[in-house]
Each structure stands twice: as C-alpha cells, then as structure tokens.
Amino acid sequence: MSGRVPAASGGLPDKRRAISEAARRVFGREGYARASLDVIADEARVAKRTIYNHYTDKEHLFLSVAVEGADAVTEAVRVLMERHLRKIVDLEEDLTAFCLDRARAVTEFPEHFALVRTIHAEVTRLPAPVLETWMAHGPPSAHQRLAPYLQKIADRQLLRFDDAEKAANRLNTLTMNDVLIRSFYGAVPLPESVVEEIITEGVQAFLRLYAPLPDTHDEQV
C-alpha cells in the first residue's frame, strides 16, 4: 500500500505506528491474555502477518507498547514540571496547579493507565530485566525527576528538607498516589471536584510539613 523507506528495525514506520497504536488500545481494553492479535491486526488495518514482521512475539509487542506509553507520559510530566515549577510565583498555587495537571493526566491517558494495571497484574510473571526496563521508563522514573525541582525551590528558602528525593516522594504520596489508589489507577475516574479536593489538601499538608515558616499556613487541615 505505501512503499518503502528503510525502516529502523524492519517494516514501514507508518505500519509500525498503526500497529503500536492499535495494540495500545486493545491491550488497554482487554488486558494481556484476552487481547487477540487478530483484533489488533483488524484495528490497525493491517494483516496479522505484518505484525510478526515488526514484532517477534505477542509479549514483545506488549512490552514495546508499554514502554513507549510510559515514555510518553514521563515526557508529558516533564513538560508540566517545566511549566509550573521552573519559575515559582506563589508556591502553593504553583504546586497545586502542577499536581492538578498531573492528576488529570490519569484521565487523559486512559489506555496507558489501563496498561499500567495490566502490568501490575502480570508483574510476577515478567522476567527480571523486563521489570527493570519498566521501572526505568515507568512512573517511578517520572517521580524521580521531581526532586531536582524541589531542591531548587529549597535553595530559594521556600521549602526546607534534608532529602529532596524523600520530599518529592512525600508530595507524590500526598497527591498523585492518593488519586491513583482511590480511582483504581484511573479505572474508576473520580469526579473533578474530588480530585481538586484531594490535590488541594494534599499540597496544603505537604507545605505544612516542609514550609520553613509553619505559622504562615492554617493549622487545621
């Protein structure tokens, strides 16, 4: 149908992309075991045989798609950090805006979080190196990138802590993780108002723990 261009790893790039997008949808919708390569081929408007020209295996296809998705989300989060945390105007406002946008990513990448749930379910059957790849590209990697931003904020005396990594993890715990767990990792979306409440109060708690002037914030949460 389309022709040539020496593809990166065999096969035409547009076909490859069509396959990987269809695979993301189908794996997200059906889970790993239920997802059928016939269905993926149909949705990608591609012959099933072509899939095997690009990927050796159902398993390889799944992992490739998972890592791509993780990279996309990590990159999206990086952009959010740049936008909200590069220049701090009002710390509470900026943190809240950042965490809110971050939490909204859960509803904006539904197929990806479906994949995350599937990976959780399959984790015990995953070979160790694959699991390490996932950890390097997945959510934990996005978490790590937060620490340097907090460190810079602390350098400006707007926060106080010993360990930036731990503080970053605290912020994640108090905001993102709460949203993730209560929404079943995005499977049962929370009303926007609930998300706002969780994030707002989470950030407030974070500031009460790490802001250098405890009396500038309300005592009650």
- In the complex, the residues that contact a second copy under the rule CB under 8 A are 29, 31-34, 114, 117-118, 120-125, 131, 160-162, 166, 169-170, 173-174, 177-178, 180-181, 184-185, 187-188, 201, 205, 208-210, 214, 220-221
Among residues 165, 163, 175, 155, which one has the least CA distance to residue 95? 175
What's the rounded Cα separation, in Å, for the pair 206 and 92? Answer: 9
25 sits near DNA (criterion: CB under 7 A): no
**Contact criterion met (CB below 8 Å) for 48 and 38:** yes
Are 78 and 30 spatial neighbours (Cβ–Cβ below 8 Å)?
no
Q: Token pair for residue 139?
A: 């959510």
How many Cβ atoms sit within 10 Å of the Cβ of residue 116? Answer: 22
Contact of residue 166 among a second copy, DNA, none (CB under 5-8 Å per partner type): a second copy
* Of 155 and 219, CB closest to a second copy: 219
* Cβ-based burial of 138 (10 A; exposed 0-12, middle 13-18, buried ≥19): buried
Give yes or no for residue 46 binding DNA (CB under 7 A).
yes
Indicate which single residue of 17, 57, 132, 194 sits in contact with DNA (rule: CB under 7 A). Answer: 57
DSSP state of 77: H
Least distance in angstroms from the C-beta of 43 to DNA: 12
In the complex, the smallest distance separating the C-beta of residue 72 from a second copy, rounded to whole angstroms, is 20
Task: Pull the structure tokens for residue 120.
Answer: 């959780």
Three-class secondary structure of residue 80 per DSSP: helix
The entry of DNA, a second copy, none near residue 114 (CB within 5 to 8 angstroms by kind) is a second copy
Angle, nearest 10°, between helix axes 110-122 and 58-85? Answer: 130
- Where does residue 10 rank: exposed (0-12), middle (13-18), buried (19+ CB within 10 A)? exposed
Shortest Cβ distance from residue 66 to a second copy (Å)? 13
- Binding site partner of 148, from a second copy, DNA, none, Cβ cut-off 5-8 A by kind: none
Least distance (Å) from DNA to the CB of residue 64?
A: 13
Residue 58 is a binding residue for DNA (CB under 7 A): yes
In terms of CB distance, is 130 or 159 closer to DNA?
Answer: 130
Instruction: Rank residues 67 and 209 by Cβ distance to a second copy and give the closer one.
Output: 209
Residues forming contacts to DNA in the complex (CB under 7 A) are: 1-4, 6-7, 10-12, 15-16, 34-39, 45-50, 52-54, 57-59
